[in-house]
Chain A
Amino acid sequence: MEHASHALGPVLVEHASYLWLVPLFPLLGALVNVLFGWRFERSGKKSLVHVVAVGAMALSFLTAAYAFVQMLHLPAERRFLQNTLWNLFSAGRVTVDLAFALDPLSMMMVLIITFIGTLIHLFSVGYMWEDEAKAYWRFFAWLNLFVFSMLLLVMGDNFVLMFFGWEGVGLCSYGLIAFYYTDREKAAAGMKAFVVNRFGDFGFLAGLFLLFWGLGGAWAASCHTGGPSYQATPGMHSLAGASDAAASLALAPRVSLREHAAPAKHGAPAGHAAPAEHAAPAEHAAPAEHAAPAEHAVPAEHGAAAEHGTAPGHATASAKGEHGVGAQVMVGPTLNFRELRDQVVIEETGIAEHLKDQRVWGVALLALVGIFLFVGAMGKSAQLPLYVWLPDAMAGPTPVSALIHAATMVTAGVYMVARLNFIFALSPSAMGWVALIGTLTAVFAASIGFFQYDIKKVLAYSTVSQLGFMFIGVGVGVYWAGAYHLLTHAFFKACLFLGSGSVILGCHHEQDMRKMGGLKKYMPITRWTYLIACWAIAGFPWAAGFYSKDEILWKAFTSEHLALFGTATPWLGPAIYIAGLLAATGTSFYMFRSYFMTFTGEYRGGQGHGHEHGEDPHASVAAPHHADPHGHHDAHPAPDPAPAHGAHGHDAHGQAHGGHGGHGHTPHESPWTITLVLVVLAAGAVLCSLLGLPAAWTGHEPLLEQWLSPALTAEVPFVHKPHALEFVFQALGVGAGAIGFVFAWVLYKDNKSKVPAALKEKFLGVWTVVYNKYYVDELYDLVVIRPSLAWSRALSWFDGHIIDWLVNFAGSVARGFAGIDGWIDKHFVDGAVNAVATLTIEGGRTLRRVQTGRIQTYLYGALAGGLAVILLNFLIP
């Protein structure tokens, strides 16, 4: 997979001012539904809701297609469409624009999202029409908002906008999972999804900051090893004061590229001292509209985007001129993907070396960045430790599971890693970590899938497992294969989910496979599409799954460059291959198990034969049929016969509910809106195999790899093995799938054999552990949730009693002193005055007795006085 030209130049940007329309349409659709949806529903024009929703999706898909066509016309290295609306915010070096960009990778994602999104919207029309929650408009509003967020995530030109989308999809998945919020458990599932995602986001943010300030050399060792002397002082970066976007960009030093000449000592043109004088860039007129609080109807942000006017697109200084020579590349901390890619990928800037030799907490910076960013991916794409929310997310309606938890949201993590391939490629231990976690998740989730009875649970664990595969791909370094598996998975997993949706709808909201069986007679189209999708996911040739999965496993086998926590681990590649093979067999086993249990044998729904309900202790997400009994059995409203007028050509929707009228227990085929989507998806699952025909077969690079090569520039040193070996490994893959198929066939064909029940009796202990998902949920509850609640109660008690008590104590102490003062005042000061009075009285009383009234005593007194005077006269000398 060698690239022709060694020295990569900066990305050449094509300005496309219509890009922001792609996310705008779903947003408008959502707004209309939020504000007027319930009015439509109440006034009987219920179909208007899905017209708006599907219409918005269709428009968005058309714009995306137009962009795709424009990109096709561009030469390979110029395929980068960019559109900046305005500067979101900027302070110091952190400057963020509301800007959209499409490069081949995000183009593919956008196409997947809009195409499959439209199909799923179409599917939901039929599926949600009779839904008992009577919130048709709310469903479509959330779905549109979800697509808007997903598009924001994919098309975002910088980390912050990606994070906008990242949390936006989290919010929408919360809204959609907890769609049936009247059931408290389903609401809890929504909450669980959001909080677990937040764990991931915490990791994402930490990784982001590490990378951002790493570019500024925050952790640069004082002596920088080799490579062009790019000495960035933190002072210049984190402390550079710039109050708006232009000033902030002016701060970034420029590296001018010399064709292979020794890179000149890169003088950082930007003066060290922050520009004291305020350069007066084109001022963003202080928008008056938010100051006047009067208007409050429609939150005016996207709707009135036009009046902001496009802020001066800070056209990057990348040369429009010819490739490479004399081009200026911006260096230093940046949130923008393109600028990040330019400075890291181009060796002349020295950033790559600079990043490599930075260490944080004793660990290599890039490894830490990789691990933290991958924690974010784990949260969003349900990898091992943070996967617990995905199975519970099946509480949402099936189209939601299909769109969000199969095709789009869960793949965000893979997309992010693919988008930052040049960062991950720099650090083998980061790649090793990603691959390892991917493998573990693949095997772990596959094993749980074996014994689930709820069809959606099986598919959920299959999704987690397949995501594991994708991460093996991007972890190992074959980013295009990871993206390709993402594409194929989007098709066949959506088809499987929608198939299961159609089955559930057919069996009157029955999700437990033990109550199905023999549906191939009743639902032929669903059956065939489900079979094709199973064929694809199991990895049999001529279906997409085979090509993407085998490419990943093959590249895994041939990679010796992985490392774990700093120590090179060449054995990791083959080990991953073997685990991957195991997971593949598991995948085909549980997929065909689900196929046989639902579609072959006799229909078990309704008779309620004494199936072992008892031992299904963990029906945490109980099938809706007994959760809200009243919901299911109310009479279905008369179907709205008038097919809605298709405003736009594409959505030839309308929902004749012909087959649904009969109330009887016999399952029935779903209406054409559903089956059509299933057929398209099944076709897609097969057709997109053409994109990935391996070089071994066709002699030239697979189409998709060529398409993605401008975006995925990281060169990863795989070991070259002869094509023959590749054929052998492909055969091995098919063999693994066959083994799984045979096992499923034997055990579950027509549900006749008693072997599964017997096996379960023998290994009941193992069975219950695996059935209860290794008690991971209980573990988390014990380790995370209960301690934090206890800790918070303790802190609240501390706050309420200790600190408050101190304050009140201070108050009472003051009161005490006041009391003492009062007492002293009353007793001592007053006392003294009274004492003088009593003294005089007592003195007077005692002296009275001297006055006896007899003259002689007075005479004695006088004589005594006289005698005393005479004596004194003699005594005193």
Chain B
Amino acid sequence: MFGPNNVLAWATFLPLGGAILIVLLTALRYVSGLSKHALDQASRAIALCTSGLSLVAAIYAWSFYDPNAAGMVVAGKASGVQLVQRAVWIRGFNVEWFVGVDGLSISMVLLSGLISFVATIASLPWWSGAKDREMAGMVEDDGHAGGAHGGHGHGEAHPKHFSVRMVPGYMVMLLLLQTGMMGTFVALDMFLFYVFWEVMLLPMYFLIGVWGGPRKEYAAIKFFLYTLAGSVLMLLAIIGVYYNSAGASLVDGSATEHTFNLLELAAQGHAGQFASAAPILGFEFAKIVFVALFIGFAIKIPMFPFHTWLPDAHVEAPTPISVILAGVLLKMGPYGILRFNFAILPDATRWAANAIAIFGVINIVYAAFVCLAQKDLKKLIAYSSVSHMGFTLLGMAAMTPTAISGAVLNLFTHGIISGMLFLIVGVIYDRAHHREIARFGGLAQQLPEYTAIMGLAFFASMGLPGLAGFISEFMVFSGSFPVYMTYVIISATSVIITAAYYLWAIHRMFLGKLNETYRGFPDLNWRERLTLYPLGAIAIVLGFYPQAILGSINTTLHVLVQNVRL
């Protein structure tokens, strides 16, 4: 079923197939009177299967990918892009369905598949004890009005848990989101990339806006408008690049005068095609396009001035969506920058490198300090994501082989670790229905297993050697050191601050005397174990054998750095 040339298409569109199936089923409900409970369970099963299959496809893609193969030849040079599938889509605009994977995107494809599958599991109310479900408000009210919630210890009845509200709708949105994400990572045609970029935004808006927390509308709108503003800039830049690009041939050989094909554009950019383009508004073309694209992607990273949407979006989004948002969506920014800015506009990249490094350092140190002052655990983790993404920025700006490999590895490891972190917040939120660190206390006595996995996640995020976080941090620091010594030393101080705020959070939440309100809380149930332990295992394995990922991503990135440097 999964051959080298169609595995990416399968990986991208399997979730979409699932979504369509669910929609049909919902329609069936009105025709043949399928019960609500049956429909919910069916849509959950479909979502689980399709995202599982999508993950299997991603793993196949990973196995097909050979880091040392020359891959597709573009403009006379081996581009290292494999598993290519091309077809003409819109002949008028020379737009192709051009899908392929190289060192940069293979790890992202795997991450996207993995995190989506984990998030789908986390969206189900299954595999958990009756007491868990009742406490989390996951009671399926088939028929009887408003589930009678015992509300352990708390007087007020809990609002219905997101996993039992409008389940088919939730699952369709989730699957659409997965398709959008996978597509964005595999698309090698600018137009196709932008289409998948927008497909990814829409379901995210609904997922936060409908199934979110108290201030969900504000957060959803803020998220959507922010990203949309970015993508408008991006669209303008894409069009600018398109009309200034030289011709290239479509898959059926017909020549074109402009092209959306990213690999062709990269070759042309390297050959100085855009350096000679007409200036816009008096500024140099390459610089303007670089800045426009960069801002569009920087919002996603999120970079310092554009990051305020992240804490709100995370605080209000339901747990699995936070996992996806932190696990995969944040990686779109740096991936885009490497795929577009670095590849197509090398000289503008050299011009902007120092600025990116400075923003990276600000991201790291500023967000680390802000974390220290956070009262809400999820906001703390959101800001820590901002801080960790700063490493990627610094790594990319330094443009040395070690730094850029460290930057891209950081995307993968941070994806895994922040996925774990948000799942952990979800576990405690399902039980206590609040996230204020100060109100917890001594949870270690009541929830030993939870404390253990939390410890693993927190220490991994802190960059403890032996766990995945440290490797990418070390590589970014060591790689960027010769190029930006002072920046690295400044951002190295974040190692201390990160340790401080994480340990302080552990101290206030888990150590000390057990707060009586949390007496009798059940420990992890099987669903939570099923999501947390695989990620934990990967974090440890990557801690001791990161070459598994690095082996695949090094070659492409080092060629990219060589191109940008020369």
- The interface bits of chain A over 197-219 (1 if a CB of B lies within 8 angstroms of the residue's CB, else 0) are 01101100110111011001010
Q: Is A127 an interface residue (CB 8 A)?
A: no
Q: Are B372 and A168 in contact (CB under 8 A)?
A: no
Which residues on B sit within 8 Å (CB–CB) of A360? 485
Which residues on B sit within 8 Å (CB–CB) of A198? 495-496, 499-500
Q: Is B554 an interface residue (CB 8 A)?
A: yes
User: Residue on A with the closest CB to B442?
Assistant: A182
Which residues on A sit within 8 Å (CB–CB) of B63? 286, 288, 291
A799–B365 Cα distance when bound, in Å, is 13
User: Residue on B with the closest CB to A298?
Assistant: B537
Most chain A CB inside 10 Å of its own CB: which residue of B448, B466, B489, B506: B466
Q: Is B126 an interface residue (CB 8 A)?
A: no
Which residues on B sit within 8 Å (CB–CB) of A182? 442, 445, 511-514
Q: Are A243 and B67 in contact (CB under 8 A)?
A: yes
Q: Are B538 and A240 in contact (CB under 8 A)?
A: no
**Complex interface: stretch among B24-32, B145-153, B421-429, B474-482:** B474-482
Q: Are B369 and A213 in contact (CB under 8 A)?
A: no
Q: Are B503 and A87 in contact (CB under 8 A)?
A: no
Take A164-B466, A286-B552, A788-B497 as given contacts and tell me if A218 and B482 are in contact as well, using a CB distance cutoff of 8 Å.
yes
**Complex interface: stretch among B129-137, B180-188, B342-350, B542-550:** B542-550
Within 8 A of A (CB), among B499-554: 499-500, 503-504, 506-507, 510-514, 529-530, 533-538, 540-548, 550-552, 554
Which residues on A sit within 8 Å (CB–CB) of B482? 213, 216, 218, 234, 237-238
- The interface bits of chain A over 206-245 (1 if a CB of B lies within 8 angstroms of the residue's CB, else 0) are 1011101100101000000000000000100111111111
User: Residue on B with the closest CB to A360?
Assistant: B485
Q: Is A793 an interface residue (CB 8 A)?
A: yes
Q: Is B418 an interface residue (CB 8 A)?
A: no
A108–B374 Cα distance when bound, in Å, is 47
Give the shortest distance, in Å, between B516 (CB) and chain A (any CB). 14
Q: Are B59 and A291 in contact (CB under 8 A)?
A: yes
Take A194-B499, A278-B68 as given contacts and tell me if A184 and B465 are in contact as well, using a CB distance cutoff of 8 Å.
no
Within 8 A of B (CB), among A358-414: 360
Give the shortest distance, in Å, between A376 (CB) and chain B (any CB). 12
Q: Is B405 an interface residue (CB 8 A)?
A: yes
Q: Is A830 an interface residue (CB 8 A)?
A: no
Which residues on A sit within 8 Å (CB–CB) of B114? 293
A133–B212 Cα distance when bound, in Å, is 41
Q: Is A280 an interface residue (CB 8 A)?
A: yes
Which residues on B sit within 8 Å (CB–CB) of A213? 481-482
**Complex interface: stretch among B38-46, B253-261, B556-564:** B556-564
Which residues on A sit within 8 Å (CB–CB) of B307? 803
Q: Is B439 an interface residue (CB 8 A)?
A: no
Take A238-B483, A299-B536, A799-B370 as given contacts and tell me if A92 and B401 are in contact as well, using a CB distance cutoff of 8 Å.
yes
- The interface bits of chain B over 353-379 (1 if a CB of A lies within 8 angstroms of the residue's CB, else 0) are 000000000000010011111100000
Q: Are A290 and B538 in contact (CB under 8 A)?
A: yes
Among candidates A240, A276, A795, residue contacting B366 with C-beta atoms closer than 8 Å = A795
Q: Are A301 and B497 in contact (CB under 8 A)?
A: no
Among candidates B55, B372, B488, residue contacting A792 with C-beta atoms closer than 8 Å = B372
Q: Are A241 and B561 in contact (CB under 8 A)?
A: yes
Q: Are A171 and B459 in contact (CB under 8 A)?
A: yes
Q: Is A86 an interface residue (CB 8 A)?
A: yes
Within 8 A of B (CB), among A272-314: 274, 276, 278, 280, 283-284, 286-297, 299-302, 308
Give the shortest distance, in Å, between A249 (CB) and chain B (any CB). 14
Among candidates A91, A299, A792, residue contacting B369 with C-beta atoms closer than 8 Å = A792
**Count: A-B pairs, CB below 8 Å:** 249
A15–B200 Cα distance when bound, in Å, is 54
Q: Is B555 an interface residue (CB 8 A)?
A: yes
Give the shortest distance, in Å, between B477 (CB) and chain A (any CB). 6
Q: Are B537 and A300 in contact (CB under 8 A)?
A: yes
Which residues on A sit within 8 Å (CB–CB) of B374? 796
Among candidates A166, A240, A244, A289, residue contacting B547 with C-beta atoms closer than 8 Å = A244
Take A91-B479, A213-B481 as given contacts and tell me if A302 and B544 are in contact as well, using a CB distance cutoff of 8 Å.
yes
A164–B548 Cα distance when bound, in Å, is 19
Give the shortest distance, in Å, between B370 (CB) and chain A (any CB). 5
Which residues on A sit within 8 Å (CB–CB) of B448? 38
Q: Are B400 and A202 in contact (CB under 8 A)?
A: no
Take A202-B495, A795-B366 as given contacts and tell me if A94 and B475 are in contact as well, using a CB distance cutoff of 8 Å.
yes
Q: Are B499 and A160 in contact (CB under 8 A)?
A: no
Q: Are A301 and B543 in contact (CB under 8 A)?
A: yes
Which residues on B sit within 8 Å (CB–CB) of A163? 465, 474
Q: Is B471 an interface residue (CB 8 A)?
A: yes
Take A181-B512, A287-B545 as given contacts and tell me if A278 and B555 are in contact as well, using a CB distance cutoff of 8 Å.
yes
Give the shortest distance, in Å, between A35 (CB) and chain B (any CB). 10
Q: Is B37 an interface residue (CB 8 A)?
A: no
Q: Are B475 and A91 in contact (CB under 8 A)?
A: yes
A87–B546 Cα distance when bound, in Å, is 9
Q: Are A187 and B552 in contact (CB under 8 A)?
A: no
Q: Are B513 and A91 in contact (CB under 8 A)?
A: no
User: Residue on B with the closest CB to A182?
Assistant: B513
Q: Are B540 and A241 in contact (CB under 8 A)?
A: no
Q: Are B541 and A290 in contact (CB under 8 A)?
A: yes
Which residues on B sit within 8 Å (CB–CB) of A181? 444, 510-512
Q: Is A268 an interface residue (CB 8 A)?
A: no
User: Residue on A with the closest CB to B495?
Assistant: A202
A803–B367 Cα distance when bound, in Å, is 13
Q: Are B373 and A160 in contact (CB under 8 A)?
A: no
Take A164-B466, A187-B507 as given contacts and tell me if A209 and B68 are in contact as well, using a CB distance cutoff of 8 Å.
no
Q: Is B305 an interface residue (CB 8 A)?
A: yes
Take A278-B68, A280-B68 as given contacts and tell me if A301 and B369 are in contact as well, using a CB distance cutoff of 8 Å.
no
Q: Are A296 and B401 in contact (CB under 8 A)?
A: no
Take A198-B499, A300-B541, A792-B373 as given contacts and tell me if A291 and B561 are in contact as well, using a CB distance cutoff of 8 Å.
no
Q: Are B537 and A290 in contact (CB under 8 A)?
A: yes
Q: Are B475 and A89 in contact (CB under 8 A)?
A: yes
User: Residue on B with the closest CB to A162?
Assistant: B465
Q: Are A274 and B562 in contact (CB under 8 A)?
A: yes
Q: Is A809 an interface residue (CB 8 A)?
A: no
Which residues on B sit within 8 Å (CB–CB) of A862? none
Q: Are B369 and A290 in contact (CB under 8 A)?
A: no
Q: Are A171 and B68 in contact (CB under 8 A)?
A: no
User: Residue on B with the closest CB to A789?
Assistant: B372
Q: Is B222 an interface residue (CB 8 A)?
A: yes
Q: Is A90 an interface residue (CB 8 A)?
A: yes
User: Residue on A with the closest CB to B305?
Assistant: A803
Q: Is A49 an interface residue (CB 8 A)?
A: no
A9–B548 Cα distance when bound, in Å, is 36
Which residues on B sit within 8 Å (CB–CB) of A278? 67-68, 555
Q: Is B406 an interface residue (CB 8 A)?
A: yes
Q: Is B120 an interface residue (CB 8 A)?
A: no
User: Residue on B with the closest CB to A807?
Assistant: B308
Q: Are A199 and B496 in contact (CB under 8 A)?
A: yes
Which residues on A sit within 8 Å (CB–CB) of B481? 209-210, 212-213, 218
Take A91-B406, A93-B402, A199-B496 as given contacts and tell me if A807 and B222 are in contact as well, using a CB distance cutoff of 8 Å.
yes
Q: Are A238 and B504 in contact (CB under 8 A)?
A: no
Which residues on B sit within 8 Å (CB–CB) of A237? 482
Q: List 14 A-B contacts (CB under 8 A).
A: A86-B547, A89-B546, A89-B547, A93-B401, A94-B479, A167-B466, A182-B511, A182-B513, A182-B514, A184-B513, A239-B400, A244-B551, A299-B537, A804-B308
Apart from A183-B512, A296-B536, list 13 A-B contacts with CB within 8 A. A89-B550, A94-B478, A166-B465, A209-B478, A213-B481, A238-B479, A242-B554, A243-B550, A287-B541, A289-B541, A301-B545, A795-B373, A811-B225
For the complex of A and B, the 10 pairs showing the least CB-CB separation, nearest first, are A241-B558, A243-B554, A92-B401, A296-B533, A792-B372, A91-B405, A187-B511, A293-B534, A796-B373, A92-B402
Write the residues of chain A forming the contact surface with B, with a CB cutoff of 8 angstroms. Answer: 34, 38, 86-94, 98, 160, 163-164, 166-168, 171, 174, 178, 181-184, 187-188, 190-191, 194-195, 198-199, 201-202, 205-206, 208-210, 212-213, 216, 218, 234, 237-245, 274, 276, 278, 280, 283-284, 286-297, 299-302, 308, 360, 788-789, 791-793, 795-797, 799, 803-804, 807, 811
